[in-house]
Structure 1
C-alpha cells in the first residue's frame, strides 16, 4: 500500500479505539486509563506503509500487543510520560527524550494522562529500500538499531519534519504523495544517519563512497531540469544516474556546491521567476508554481520569498507594471 493521506481522529470510548486499532493492528488490545475513562486524539499522515502523527492522551491509556508489524517506532514526548516493555526489559520516557523501538519486539505500553507526543513509524521495507539506495547495493544483514532514549539534535529535526508533513498534508488537496514523498525520504535518511545502527560506520565513512564523474552529475542535473514532475525525488534521480544516493550527494556537493534537492528547488524557482516576469495577467502564480513542479503553493511561496526577498505576486505585479510603463513610453514617443 503506497497511498499517502491525512486524517484527524478523536476517540472518546474504548470500543471506537479498539475497532480502529483492530483495522490497523489486529494484535493490539487497547486498555483504558487508570480512572477507567478513555479519550485519545491524533493527527496522522499515512505514508504508504509508514506514518507520522501527533497525539494527545487526555485520560491516559495503554495497550498490549503480540506485534508482528515489522518496522521502527520513534516517539518524542512533549508532555507527560510513557512506559513500555519489550524483550529487553521495562523502560520509560519523559519530555526531552526520544525513543526508537523495534515495534515487533514491544509487548505493552502505557501513556500518562495529559501526555502529548510526536511519533513516526517507519516500516522495515521503507528503511531497507532507502538503505539500498544509500549504499548502492543490497544489505547483507538485517538493519538493527541500538536502543536510544536521548538524541536532542535528532529529536528536534525529526519533530520538525513530522510537523511539516502534517501541516503540508492537511493543507494540500489529495493526492498528496507528490508533496509528502520528499519529506518521507528526508525523514528516513535522518533516522539512518542519526541513530546508531549496524550500518552507521559505512554510512558515515566517506571513503566508502564512489565519486561520480562531472559528466554523470551533469547528466543528473539535466534530468532534473527537464522534469517538472512534483513527484520527482532524489531517489529517482539517483536511480536515473545509476548512482547510490550518497554518491549523488557527494557529486553535487563537489561539482555544484549544493545538495541535489537544493539544485532541484533552485532550478524550479528560476523557471517560475522567469514565467512570473513574462506571463500574461490571466496566468496566476499558483498555476505557474504547478507548471514548474511545485504542487504545494504554500511551500513554493515560502521558498520563493526566502530566495528573492519578495512574494510571487509582488514579482508578477512589478514586472506587469514595468511592461505597462514601457508601453506608455512607446506611445508617447509615437505621439
Structure 2
C-alpha cells in the first residue's frame, strides 16, 4: 500500500483525536516556567500567563520533520498566550477539545468545534485558551510554504502569502484540510511517517501538507493558484517522462520534473493524475521499483539488494524493502 493510500484510509477512519501523537510526549508539567521554556523551544519565545488562578496541567506531544511539525497541546488551565509575530512559520490550529479566542490581523475569532484558525508569520497574535482546551497544531516553515506556492503557480510570488485566519471546518475546504492533517498525525502515531528519519515519504508528506493548505484555505494567492490549473500538452508530458526515466538514480523532486517539462507543479500533477491516476512522485517510486525487480530477477550475475536499491534511487533500505513487498508481495531478497 502506498503512503497516499494509507493517508486516504486514515482520513476515512473514525475520529480518534485523543490518541493523536501519543508516544511523542516532550512535556508533561504543572510548572509555568518549564511550560514557557519547552513550548517556546518547539515554536518561538512567547508570554504565557495563567488566568483566574486555575491549575496548570500542560501536555505537549510533538513530531518534527524537516519543514513541518505536528503537535497536540493542552494547558489544562485557562491561559493567555502572546507570541507577538511568529516570523518564520505559519501555525494551523485545530481545537480538539474546548474553546479559544484568537486575536490576529485585527480580528477576534472564537475557535471551537466548527472553527479552526491559522496564524500568519508577519502579523501580531494574542490568544486565550480556555480551561480544558486542547489543539492539534500544524507548524509549516514559511520558506517551505512559499517555495511550494511558487512551484504550484509557476511564477514569482507577489509578496508574503497571507491566509484568512478563519478556517471554517463546516466548509468542504476546511473539512479536507482537517482530514489531511489528522491523517498525517495518525500516520506519525502509527510509525509510518517521521519515524526513521527523513526520506521520500516524509518529503512527499511535507509538500502535500503545504499544498493542501494552499489549495483549501483562502489567501492572497488563491486566484493565482486557480489560474495555474492548466492540463499539460502531450509534448510536455513526454518531456517530463523522458527526464524522469533518464534520471531514476538521482534524488529527483517534483519541482525538478516540472521545470524540465516547462510546467508548474500543479499542471504536472494534473497531467499525471489524468494519465496514470498517480502523483508524479508515486509514479517515480513505482518505476524505480519495477526497475529494481527486473534487475533482481536475473539468474546470472545477480546483484545485491543493496546495490540495486541505491542504483534506482532509493536511499533508505528499510523503506525500499517495505515498498517492494507492498508492490510485489515478496521480499526483494526473493526477487
* Bucket of the pairwise TM-score, normalised by the shorter protein: 0.7 to 0.9
Could you say what secondary structure the match of 2:157 adopts? Answer: coil
1:203 counterpart residue number: 225
Aligned length: 302
Asked if residue 161 in structure 1 is aligned to residue 177 in structure 2, the reply is no
1:64 counterpart residue number: 82
Residues 27, 67 of structure 1: 8 Å contact kept:
no
Residues 95, 111 of structure 2: 8 Å contact kept:
yes
Asked if residue 266 in structure 1 is aligned to residue 286 in structure 2, the reply is yes
C-alpha distance in 2 between matches for 1:98 and 1:276? 50
Per-residue CA deviations over 1:168-196 (Å, capped at 9, x if unaligned) read: 45420x4x255422211111111111112
C-alpha distance in 2 between matches for 1:110 and 1:100? 15
Asked if residue 131 in structure 1 is aligned to residue 149 in structure 2, the reply is yes
In the TM superposition, residue 17 of structure 1 has moved relative to its aligned partner by 2.4
Over 6 Å off, 4+ runs: 279-282
1:39 counterpart residue number: 58
Could you say what secondary structure the match of 1:144 adopts? Answer: coil
Could you say what secondary structure the match of 1:143 adopts? Answer: coil
Cα distance change of structure 1 residues 250 and 107 upon mapping to structure 2, 3 Å threshold? closer
1:171 counterpart residue number: 195
2:209 counterpart residue number: 187
2:27 counterpart residue number: 10
Cα distance change of structure 1 residues 125 and 295 upon mapping to structure 2, 3 Å threshold? same
In the TM superposition, residue 200 of structure 1 has moved relative to its aligned partner by 2.2
C-alpha distance in 2 between matches for 1:288 and 1:60? 56
Cα distance change of structure 1 residues 170 and 112 upon mapping to structure 2, 3 Å threshold? farther
Could you say what secondary structure the match of 1:145 adopts? Answer: coil
Cα distance change of structure 1 residues 177 and 8 upon mapping to structure 2, 3 Å threshold? farther
C-alpha distance in 1 between matches for 2:278 and 2:42? 41
C-alpha distance in 1 between matches for 2:60 and 2:101? 19
2:263 counterpart residue number: 243
TM-score, with normalisation over the residues of structure 1?
0.74
Cα distance change of structure 1 residues 80 and 271 upon mapping to structure 2, 3 Å threshold? farther
Cα distance change of structure 1 residues 232 and 165 upon mapping to structure 2, 3 Å threshold? farther
